Amino acid sequence: MERYLANIKQIEWIDKEGAEAEVLFEINGKQLWAFCHPCDFTEGTTEEVYFSFIEEAIPESAFWDENREQNKEIVPAENDKWRYYCYGQLKSIHPVMIDCGTVTLSFGDWINDERTVGSYVYFVMSRLDIGKV
């Protein structure tokens, strides 16, 4: 699990009693929104965090073929705070780790061909999650 220092910019409570919130954070100069449960962050603090996500189903061909420009970035969807279009480079396959520029994300353990390390890939997160380490 990769750990990062994130500045907690804003918290929008979905269910304060249930400790569910949308969290706006800044990491490596980029601001992103994520779902958090249980949310025990405080606005204006810098926290050590980790990320997980729920992937949106896309064709495997899109995973391998849709990053021809060899980008490393996370692009927010226009109308959904938690949804991101992710462009990155495979750093390892056991587990699958993808460098998306701002962060490196763990993507399971499903690739067995070592020759794919270094490949540029694309995937979609339907929800980015943030948690305190």
Write the pLDDT tens digit of every residue in 6-53. Answer: 999 999 999 999 999 999 999 989 999 999 999 999 999 999 999 999
pTM of the model: 0.90
Peptide bond preceding 38 in cis form (omega within 30 of 0)? yes
Q: What sign does the CA torsion over 17, 79, 123, 71 have? A: negative
Name the residue with higher pLDDT: 6 or 106. Answer: 6
Over residues 90-101, the mean pLDDT reads 93
Write the pLDDT tens digit of every residue in 64-74. Answer: 999 999 999 99
77 — pLDDT class (breaks 50, 70, 90): very high
Would you say residue 1 has pLDDT above 80?
no
Give pLDDT, residue 108: 83
